[in-house]
Amino acid sequence: MRLGGRVAGAIEVLADIEARRRPVADALKDWGLSHRFAGSGDRAAIGNIVYDALRMRLSHAWLMEDESPTALAFAVLIRQWGFSPETLAAELEDDKFAPALPSFEPLLSRDLADAPLHIQGDIPDWVQPSFEAGFGENWLAEAKALAGRPTLDLRANTLKASRDKVVKALDRSGAAASPIARNGVRIAAGEGPSRLPNVTAELSFQKGWFEVQDEGSQIVADLVMPAEGAQVLDYCAGGGGKTLAMSAAMHNKGQIHAYDTDRKRLAPIIERLKRAGVRNAQVHDDVRRMENLKEKLDTVLVDAPCTGTGTWRRRPDTKWRLTQKNIEERTGQQQEALTEAAAYVKPGGTLIYITCSVLPEENDAQARRFAESNPEFSIEPAAPAWDALFGENAPRPHSRDNATLTLTPASTDTDGFFFCRLRRKA
């Protein structure tokens, strides 16, 4: 396919997402199944246009004075892919599959600095107060950073391979050591139609040398700092990413109990544990069978259900589906998870609260509300652990008081994650 056909395909997918309010991954998959002539490079390019358009939907629409899928797709090519109207016209000349070019006059004449601030930041207008409350005068930079393309991040599984060994195995993919995470490996996001490598097809992945895991997720798992012989509960384990990371940090010693109420989310963990060579993890899907663990565990990790605002770079469609009701539902679930998980922490043990959100309602406010309601728990400053693990010269996450930490694309070049350590009185 030439560029014109790829743009036309992206417009079809964007129209489908808008009409049916469905996840972008589902819309792209269905388009690929109904257009089997499209090669893998074509599908990747179409996906890139769609994701880029959704990440910057508001600013594209404002500059084009048009929020249609066609306007958004062409705005991507001009603003993000490096085309000028002239070079784009030349590229699409004689391409019978190319859509008609829209007018670029508004885009060329308007200055984004004149747009409302939430449009400049490409976030819903009603979310702006939360960003202001969470990040103060830096909120706009934080919002803009969430509209960029994410890198592909991997974690070297030190139970089987060193980071250097993984980097060497993936040298054709442009892999390099991550900036912060101690066992992280990073592959740059790429530009325009370029596609990221399918690293899970690599033999080194099948051997369990590495896992696909955002650097932010690796960092917050590292900040848990579980001791080698510790008894740990990963209370909302999901697919097991943090369980795997903690197992490696504990050198396969001690015991990790991985629990989740959602059996579908938990299902992949068995194969992942086996591939990674993890021997110190037990998987639970029935809370009744964990009764004997109450008040006996050194560390309990609550990777709480959240809005996922920290992952907007990877799932930009969710940015435009978010509602106030979603936040209210999640905050209720978070308080419930914290209360339930706290029962397993032994006196003197730690309760770790993590989200992949950047909204203060789900983060600081939740941790402080829990501590106020449960005086046997107190927030323990997390900044010293950051310095001890990553060094004082490493990029620093957002923090008002060095007690809790919020990782963001703008501050740490990772997905957004919140971390808080609460200590139970001995």
Percent of the chain's residues with pLDDT above 90: 97
Q: What share of the chain is helix, strand, coil (3-state, %, to 5)?
A: 50, 15, 35
Asked if the model's pLDDT at residue 279 lies above 90, the reply is yes
The catalytic position among 236, 306, 356, 420 is 356
Mean pLDDT to the nearest integer, 391-397: 94
What is the structure's pLDDT at 63? 98
Domain 215-424 listed as CATH 3.30.70.660: no
Please report where in the chains the tokens 């990221």 appear, as a residue: 196
pLDDT for 114 = 98
**Other C-beta atoms lying within 10 Å of the C-beta of residue 197:** 15
How many C-beta neighbours within 10 Å does residue 419 have? 26
User: DSSP code of 199?
Assistant: G
Rounded to whole angstroms, the Cα distance separating 340 from 291 reads 11
Per-residue tokens: 377? 């728990």
- Under 8 Å between Cβ of 14 and 57: no
Residue 171, annotated ligand binder? no
| Residue 303 known to bind ligand | yes
Tens-place pLDDT, residues 73-94: 999 999 999 999 999 999 999 9
Please name the CATH architecture into which domain 152-211 falls.
Answer: 2-Layer Sandwich (3.30)
Q: pLDDT of 114-154, one tens digit each?
A: 999 999 999 999 999 999 999 999 999 999 999 999 999 99
Return all residues near 240 (Cβ < 8 A) that are at least 6 apart. Answer: 234, 258, 266, 268, 269, 272, 273, 281
* Residue 189, pLDDT score: 95
Q: Where are the beta strands (DSSP E) in 138-254?
A: 152-156, 176-177, 184-187, 210-212, 231-234
Mean pLDDT, to the nearest integer, of 4-16?
Answer: 96
152-211 against 215-424: fold identical = no
Q: Report domain extents, the chain.
A: 3-115, 152-211, 215-424
Rounded mean pLDDT, 99-119: 96
Interior angle at CA 129, CA 127 and CA 132, nearest 5: 115
pLDDT at position 36: 87
State the Cα–Cα distance between residues 171 and 222, nearest whole angstrom: 25
Query: Residue 373's pLDDT is what?
Result: 97
214-260 pLDDT per residue, tens: 999 999 999 999 999 999 999 999 999 999 999 999 999 999 999 99
**Residue 95 binned pLDDT confidence (cut-offs 50, 70, 90):** very high
**Choice between 400 and 57, residue whose per-residue pLDDT is larger:** 57
Closest C-alpha to 399, from 358, 348, 362, 351: 358
306 is known as an active-site residue: no
Q: What is the pLDDT of residue 287?
A: 94
